[in-house]
Amino acid sequence: VKRVSKKYGKIAEPVKLAAVLGAGIMGGGVAYQSASRGTPILMKDINEAALDLGMNEATKLLGGQLKRKRIDAIKMAQVVSKITPTLSYGDFGRVDLVVEAVVENVNVKKAVLAEVEASLQEGAVLASNTSTISITELAKDLKRPEQFCGMHFFNPVHRMPLVEVIRGEKTSEETIATTVSYAKAMGKTPVVVNDCPGFLVNRVLFPYFGGFSGLLQSGADYLQVDKVMERFGWPMGPAYLLDVVGIDTAFKADAVMAEGFPDRMAHTDENAIDRLYKLERFGQKNDKGFYRYE
Ligand code: NAD
């Protein structure tokens, strides 16, 4: 990983202004991380309430640092001022790199990517934070597919060191270099991977969730499975992790994995993720998933 980052780091232009589309769990985290490491960022969503949630999340994280005396009030105000919430593409002509972090749906993403591409300057990089959808597929209707790649952060963004940088069929080396350099400027460890549904991490993680669902279908208790996996040494068990990820996001990602790997990932019977999704128990984002949050 280090060798690859160094190689790409040498030819990259630094990102002076970034943007993120979507102010949800991931968008808010990306905005916080970029701003707190010094790169100003525009955060665009389609409604004011979502923007408020994204800003609140960033302010909450900074408040925690202030309390622990890691930053002072001046630094906190400086970081907040580096995040510009917006409902329009008005300032996107000045942006060097955009991270798309809207809902995990191929049609929504394609529409949003085409829309934002039209507002960007020629050399700007467009990156998707998709968890599972093929980068080559997302690039199909773009005018500049060579300037498009995956930039896959993990949740929570401020705590998880890894970022997968995904090379689609037409992605240029310059695009990879700029994205790797931005990930490093954010204090992350980028790893460049090839394109396929789920990339590297989710190709490992989703079969694990599948195994967990299978255990529940055989009668296991999710509380016990979580406890056992914690004793095994993992920071949290699969049920709690699914609540953190968001059941809605996991449901959509699961469908992409099933389509991509039908022999291994498809299932016809309703599993625990499907059931919770139908019940609109989306995890921590709406205070109820496998667990209840009060
Ligand atoms: P989320 O539901 O918390 O947030 C999505 C946001 O996108 C919402 O605020 C919504 O209003 C906004 N949005 C929808 N359409 C939009 C548009 N046209 N323009 C601007 N904003 C729009 O979702 P999330 O969990 O943050 O996931 C976002 C992306 O990140 C997905 O592709 C997901 O797969 C990926 N991801 C999620 C996780 C995770 O653990 N949740 C981890 C890695 C990657």
> What's the whole-model pTM score?
0.91
In a domain, 294, yes or no: no
On the question of pLDDT at 10 being above 90, the answer is no
130 Cα–ligand 1 center, Å: 9
Token pair 């408040």: residue:
63
Angstrom CA distances, 289 to 209, 219, 240, 247, stand at 15, 19, 9, 7
Token pair 């995040």: residue:
83
Please tell me the predicted confidence (pLDDT) of residue 9.
55
In a domain, 293, yes or no: no
d(Cα 22, Cα 149) in Å, to the nearest integer? 17
Number of domains in the chain: 2
Tell me, what CATH number does 282's domain have? 1.10.1040.50
Do 110 and 146 lie in a common domain?
yes
23 Cα–ligand 1 center, Å: 7
Please tell me the predicted confidence (pLDDT) of residue 2.
43
Given pLDDT bands bounded at 50, 70 and 90, which one contains residue 294? confident
Please tell me the predicted confidence (pLDDT) of residue 268.
85
Angstrom CA distances, 288 to 28, 49, 117, 293, stand at 20, 20, 36, 6
On the question of pLDDT at 1 being above 50, the answer is no
Burial of 22 (0-12, 13-18, 19+ CB in 10 A): buried
Q: What does the pLDDT look like over 163-211, one tens digit per residue?
A: 999 999 999 999 999 999 999 999 999 999 999 999 999 999 999 999 9
Name beta bridge partners: 127.
99, 149
Do 110 and 142 lie in a common domain?
yes
Q: In which domain, by residue range, is 179 found?
A: 2-194
74 Cα–ligand 1 center, Å: 30
Burial of 169 (0-12, 13-18, 19+ CB in 10 A): middle
Tell me, what CATH number does 36's domain have? 3.40.50.720
Q: What does the pLDDT look like over 140-171, one tens digit per residue?
A: 999 999 999 999 999 999 999 999 999 999 99
Domain limit, last residue, from 194, 222, 243: 194
User: Active-site residue numbers?
Assistant: 152
Residue nearest (by alpha carbon) to ligand 1 atom 9: 24
Residue nearest (by alpha carbon) to ligand 1 atom 14: 102
Pocket test for ligand 1, best of 53, 188, 247, 249 (most atoms within 8 A of CB): 249
Q: What does the pLDDT look like over 81-132, one tens digit per residue?
A: 999 999 999 999 999 999 999 999 999 999 999 999 999 999 999 999 999 9
Residues with CB under 6 A from ligand 1: 21-27, 44-46, 50, 101-104, 108, 112, 129-131, 153-155, 245-246, 249, 253, 285
69 Cα–ligand 1 center, Å: 31
Do 189 and 251 lie in a common domain?
no
Residue nearest (by alpha carbon) to ligand 1 atom 10: 22
Do 152 and 219 lie in a common domain?
no
Do 104 and 214 lie in a common domain?
no
Residue 29 near residue 158, CB atoms below 8 Å: yes
On the question of pLDDT at 56 being above 90, the answer is yes
Q: What does the pLDDT look like over 209-265, one tens digit per residue?
A: 999 999 999 999 999 999 999 999 999 999 999 999 999 999 999 999 999 999 989
Domain limit, last residue, from 165, 194, 223: 194
> Could you identify the atom of ligand 1 that is nearest to the CA of residue 50?
9
> Could you identify the atom of ligand 1 that is nearest to the CA of residue 131?
34
Angstrom CA distances, 113 to 38, 142, 190, stand at 26, 8, 22
